[in-house]
Amino acid sequence: MKTRLAPSPTGALHLGNARTFLINWLLARQQGWKILLRIEDLDGPRIKLGADQQAIEDLQWLGLDWDEGPIYQSPRQGEYRLAVEKLIADGCAYPCVCSRKEVDRAASAPHAEDGAAVYPGTCRNRFPSIEAARQACGREPAIRFRVPDEIITWTDEFRGPQRSDAAKDLGDFVIAKADGVAAYQLAVVVDDAAMGITQVVRGDDLIDSTPRQIILYRALGWSSRIPIYRHLPLVIGSDGRRLAKRHGDTRVSYYRRLGISKERMLALLGRWCGVPGIGDSATLDELSNRFDMAKLSHSPIVFNNGDDSSFYEGNQMRMINGT
């Protein structure tokens, strides 16, 4: 059994990521799973220089260790390319020259589950080959996965039975961008399969990716390698929105720099994981002994940062005072 911690170096590790990683780590250490650290650095323009090192240092500071890695995705383009070529050869993927604007304009169903427009299939049977698409449009095509007209069902170990109407909810999605870089959905499946990942524990903002990933496993002939998924509620701001800059500085490194001790930080995260009897300070051993996944709340954690100007200080004080 093996899980992975998979930070994207598009920004610093914040308290929400730290909580998800902590739960993943606690589960792994309780269950005896191996842990792999994978840096998901494919999202070119959004990658921040040094964010990978920062994430590694933050994890190390918290004491969340791993058995394998770090493995970076960027040098693995050749593996992703092979998978894309196989899908094209099997008729499971095709070139697409639509721009995002065109997709948005032509989409019949306004939006997929995750807010992206459902691709209307404009290029589905349009070009006999990638070369033909290139010739006809004078630009590099993206590659889309031909989604089967099927209901995908699966069981999330934390959230229970799930269902997705692939054609209606997902639509044909991009697996390689026009610049040739593999899209997240493809890269994650190729990597999880190649690296022997059996357990995926991640934020529930990614739950709509799971049916896409499951159909990719099937199309690549890897059905037996589909991992067990657990999607956890996120940490949100008091406005109900996902933790972001507007909620102030919630980076783990920010608290480190303020001199907050690791034990104080672990206590806060531990309380957010529903660990009972946690006071002002905690060690990983204590959390590991007392954490119970079966008791984990299904509601998001609300990070209450107090009001605007009092935020930094108020928050800092609460962390220091342990309230």
Contacting residues toward ligand GLU, per CB under 6 A:
6-8, 40, 188, 202, 206
Q: Which is nearer to ligand GLU, 234 or 275 (CB)?
A: 234
Rounded CA-CA distance 213/196 in Å is 15
Q: Which is nearer to ligand GLU, 7 or 141 (CB)?
A: 7
Q: How far is the CB of 133 from ligand GLU (least distance, A)?
A: 29
Q: Which is nearer to ligand GLU, 209 or 315 (CB)?
A: 209
Cβ proximity of 36 and 69 under 8 Å: yes
Rounded CA-CA distance 158/12 in Å is 27
Q: What are phi and psi of 128, to 5 degrees?
A: -70, -20
Q: How far is the CB of 12 from ligand GLU (least distance, A)?
A: 12
Per the rule left: phi > 0, alpha: psi between -120 and 50, beta: everything else, 70 is beta
Q: Which is nearer to ligand GLU, 187 or 265 (CB)?
A: 187
Q: How far is the CB of 244 from ligand GLU (least distance, A)?
A: 14
By the 10 Å C-beta count (0-12 exposed, 13-18 middle, 19+ buried), 281 is classed as middle
Rounded CA-CA distance 281/283 in Å is 7
Q: How far is the CB of 303 from ligand GLU (least distance, A)?
A: 18
By the 10 Å C-beta count (0-12 exposed, 13-18 middle, 19+ buried), 243 is classed as buried
245 is catalytic: yes
Rounded CA-CA distance 183/177 in Å is 6
Name the catalytic one among 2, 48, 86, 245: 245
Name the residues annotated as catalytic.
245
